[in-house]
Structure 1
Amino acid sequence: MTSLTRKLTAALAASTMLFSAPAFAEDAAASATANTEVAATTAAPTGPALWKVADEDTTVYLFGTVHALPEGIEWLDGPIADAFAASDTIVTEIKMDDSMAAEMQALVMAKGMLPADTTLRSLLDEEQLATFDGAMTKLGLPVEAFDRFEPWYAGMMLTMLPLMQQGYAPDSGVEMVLLRQAGERQKGALETIDFQIGVFDGLPQESQVKFLVDAAANTDEVKNQLDAMLAEWIEGDADQLAELLNEGMEDKALAEALLYNRNANWAEWIDDRMDDPGTVFIAVGAGHLAGTKSVQDLLNGRGIEVVRVR
């Protein structure tokens, strides 16, 4: 896998928001023509990885997720199911409830729109425009469909839509499965949708355009990228997952914004949470729990022992 495809896959794993798009994105996916059969399969999986931090009266489980999955992937069993059942609080990256889609749409309309006298396609040079228009046509969408949006948002859509068209679904993703089974247990979030949008919206326009063009150039490959990540996730191979996700990210600013700065924030949150009794199950994108500068690395740097449970 090239460093470019690693970067796109890392973006997939880094933000729940990527799969929390407004309804018009789902409509676009449904209206385009695509093969929706997904081969779901893995031979003798050992199971996704799970970590634990604990003291005398507090336990925090750390579980790396895939935000969208094909139907039929079984993962909530063994130590993962036991840890989830024992937890009194479920924490995800962002608040995921019935208000999420409306909030996301309102924020995108507030922060993700270009000035009235500018179109997305006007920001692209001739070569970039050919790549973008080709990807839109391949997805069965009008080339002008995202003209009012900033490049970061269009790039997210071009990363997400091929997956949705080929059977990956947010409703089958780890967080949604967990939250449906959480019942009346307390639910929390490490970030807000506003914050996650700010991560992308705060990128320089040049970086946004590059992200968009990279996504457009890789619409045929994005499913293969996520399939490869999914295989390592199911096997619980955190080292190989880190290589696929994080190690090839050329754009250091993007890596800091999407992964490392957020990992540091979450490590601080967990450190503070250890002062209160209880059992917490934290479910965040798998890329945050893999490789150097992972949440576990940063907790170890704070003198907090992290033990792998599975």
Structure 2
Amino acid sequence: MAQRFRPLMFLAFLASIGVVPSAVAQAPEPPIWVVRDDDSTVYMVGTVHMMREGVAWQSTAVADVLAEADELWLEIPDLTPPDNLGGMIMRLGFSPDQPLSSRLSAEELAGLEAILDEHQIPLESFDSLRPWFAYLQITSLVMLDAGFDPQSGIDVQIKAQAEAQGMPVYGFETFDEQFDLLSGMPDKVQLEVLRQTIADYEESQAELVEQLEGWIGGDLGVLEEGTAEIAAELPEFYEALFVERNVGFVDGIEEILAGSGTALVAVGLGHYVGPDSIPAMLEARGYTVERR
């Protein structure tokens, strides 16, 4: 069966996710997970990093949780790119000695050129990108074309609300760590993700819409299906992007629970589904996790 890679999952990770439908029929009911001990409560919600302005995603329940929380935990606390981003991209995002045109098949290269031609981008300006960075650029084109804005991401909105309440904001990871994870994946994994991104370019927007429409309405079935496909067909990618990072998130949640008070954890929604999800890992460690 051909790999049907879900771009939503990857972009929930860095700062480039979030195609949503222009309208959702039902009132928003995104899931909330809760874990407690004697003196601590941790609420958990999913985020996407790019959204179309004006889409109603925040339910009354999410607003209540945000109002109740004493602190907010995001993937990274500062959503503004670091000053050294350009240097990081030059160091980790380019490989001029291994151009994409020498690593893709004729059919794959033709597909890439068609995408770039549509956006009036010459292949020459793209050819020296490493596969992981090329993947991000292509997926960003899909979303930007559809009118999605990183300034409207759910994490951006939640952080702004938290800061307006005077709530401290913390992060489980750093921008550098996320960059190192992406760029450090084996070349064969990077190339497979890029190849499937090119092959699925025309269908990817509809798939993303279906996943997020389900999530906003409280149905995670399509998202779970996409995660399972990634685990089966890109196991190394899945292990690095989800499993290893979920272990880190759960370690961090346990540290929060070791203190006292109420915290809101808001990380990419792909981290909440499947057998290796944050809720599943917490339950494996003996916690009771409630989904609302």
TM-score by length of 2: 0.91
Partner of 1:251: 234
Partner of 1:18: 16
- Tell me the CA shift for residue 101 of structure 1: 4.9
Structure 1 spans left out of the alignment, 5+ residues = 20-37
1:302 equivalent to 2:282? Answer no
- Secondary structure of 1:230's counterpart equals helix
- Secondary structure of 1:16's counterpart equals coil
Q: Measured at CA, do residues 305 and 104 of structure 1 come closer, stay the same or move farther in structure 2, by a change above 3 Å?
A: farther
Partner of 1:9: 8
Partner of 1:156: 136
- Tell me the CA shift for residue 273 of structure 1: 1.6
Partner of 1:102: 83
- Tell me the CA shift for residue 39 of structure 1: 5.3
Partner of 1:58: 40
- Tell me the CA shift for residue 83 of structure 1: 0.5
2:104 to 121, 124, 131: 124
- Tell me the CA shift for residue 219 of structure 1: 2.4
Overall identity of the aligned pairs, in %? 31
Aligned-residue Cα RMSD (Å) equals 2.0
* Structure 2 counterpart of 1:74, one-letter code: A
- Secondary structure of 2:228's counterpart equals coil
Partner of 2:201: 219
Aligned residues: 286
- Alpha carbons 1:63, 1:282 under 8 Å: kept: yes
Partner of 1:32: none
Partner of 1:112: 93
Q: Measured at CA, do residues 101 and 216 of structure 1 come closer, stay the same or move farther in structure 2, by a change above 3 Å?
A: farther
Distance 2:245 2:21 in 1: 33
- Alpha carbons 1:91, 1:280 under 8 Å: kept: yes
Deviation track 1:169-201 (CA, whole Å, cap 9, x = no partner) reads 211110011112122321111111222122221
- Secondary structure of 2:101's counterpart equals helix
- Tell me the CA shift for residue 82 of structure 1: 0.6
- Secondary structure of 1:179's counterpart equals helix
Alignment of 1:1-310 (within 5 A): 4-13=3-12, 15-18=13-16, 40-98=22-80, 100-114=81-95, 116-183=96-163, 184-243=166-225, 245-249=226-230, 250-309=233-292
Distance 2:204 2:82 in 1: 24
Bigger mean CA offset, 139-148 vs 2-11? 2-11
Distance 2:207 2:240 in 1: 21
Structure 2 spans left out of the alignment, 5+ residues = none
- Tell me the CA shift for residue 51 of structure 1: 0.8
